[in-house]
Each structure stands twice: as C-alpha cells, then as structure tokens.
Amino acid sequence: MSPKLYVIDSSPPVRAVYLTAEALGINMEYIQLDLFSGEHLKSEFCKINPQHTVPTLVDDDGTIIWDSHAINTYLVSKYAKNDSFYPRNLTKRAIVDQRLHFDSGLAFLGVRNIAEPIIFFGSKTIPEHLKKNAVKVYEFLEIFLDGHKWVAGDDITVADFSLIPNITSLNVMVPIDDGKFPNIKAWIKRAEKLPYYRANKKGLDDFKVLIDSKLRS
C-alpha cells in the first residue's frame, strides 16, 4: 500500500512535500481536498488531523504526520538512500533546521499573511508593511545563498524543498527585484532545472491564477 498524502495543489507546503517525494522517488497516493467547499473541515479528515491542515501524510504503516517540515524530514529519514537531503552531521543538520524554521516562521508566514486576505476576504491590495516583510525575507535569503548553490550549503536539502514553493509563491505577490537579489534569481533558475521541479510548477501556476483572479474580481 502506498503512503497517502492529503493535498491542495496550490498550497506551498503541499508542493514542498511533492518536491521531496519526487526527489526520493516515492510512489504516493494523492488525495485532493476542496478548500472552498470545506472538505478539510469534515469530520473524517479532522479525525486524521485535528488541525485540518494540508499536507497530511498517512504512511503505509498507519503513521500520521502533518506539517510539511515534519513530513519531509520523516520521508527523508525513512526512504532516502543517503543523508544528503537531511544530513546526520549535527552542524550541517542544525543549519538545515534553522532554514526550515526560517521557512515556517518567516517565508510561509509572509505568503499566508498576504494570500489569505486576498483569497478569503476579498482584499484587492497588498499593504505596504506586508510588502516590506516580504522584502525582508528576500534579504535574509540572499545572505543565506551568498557563496552557496543552495540555502544550507552546496547540497540541496529539505530546506530548499520547503523554501522553493514559498519563495516562488511570494514572488507572485511581491516580485523579487533581480538586481537586488541576484543570488535568489540564480537559486530559482537552478531549482527550475531540477528533473522534479514540475512538482512545484503546476501548483505554482494554480496559485498564480487564483491570486490574479481574486485581485481582478
């Protein structure tokens, strides 16, 4: 039996798990939830995940995990052939963990704080302070990437799998200034060349269509 993943394609955290699963070659069953009809609030799903968030993983042995960062480190620890995506070396792992916390505490929050009012509450503009917060995320990420190919060093890790969807989504709403952030520009281009980048692209395209349609309606 394949692991099951409850998903919404446009969600950046879902796309983070897509990237990890594709990179690991895991055959997963994806169960799409309709956010706008409230499928994620139904009792059947809330019994699996009382926080009713996506992604939510039900592994083939019945293990249930939610939060994309927890899912990704679990998948790598269980299925990876080596530790390059999530190093066992304590120093290297600590850097990856820091980047994961940066993703959850700043990058994803930046996406959510802008996208949620647009998608659910009819907002037609992005407040200046949220734009400034997004730029601050870019400034930190530019520093992380200075002299490195990937966000935690020269090897791609789960930190990249988490940040790629969030930064590309944030870019939809607060465009990245390539002149100010050349490291980010190069990192995104590097990511787009990955054989499994398609795992982010479709959902990113869906996200862009959703945001554009809400801003125009």
Contacts of 199 (CB under 8 A, 6+ apart): 15, 18, 19, 21, 22
Query: Which residues are identified as catalytic?
Result: 11
CA distances from 116 to 22, 39, 85, 110, 203 (A): 28, 18, 31, 10, 16
Of 142, 148, 153, 151, whose CA–CA distance to 181 is shortest? Answer: 142
Could you tell me which of 99, 96, 190, 172 has the C-alpha nearest to residue 134? 172
d(CA 167, CA 178): 13
Give the Cα separation of 150 and 88 in Å (integer): 18
CB atoms within 10 A of CB 115: 22
Q: Which amino acid is at 3?
A: P
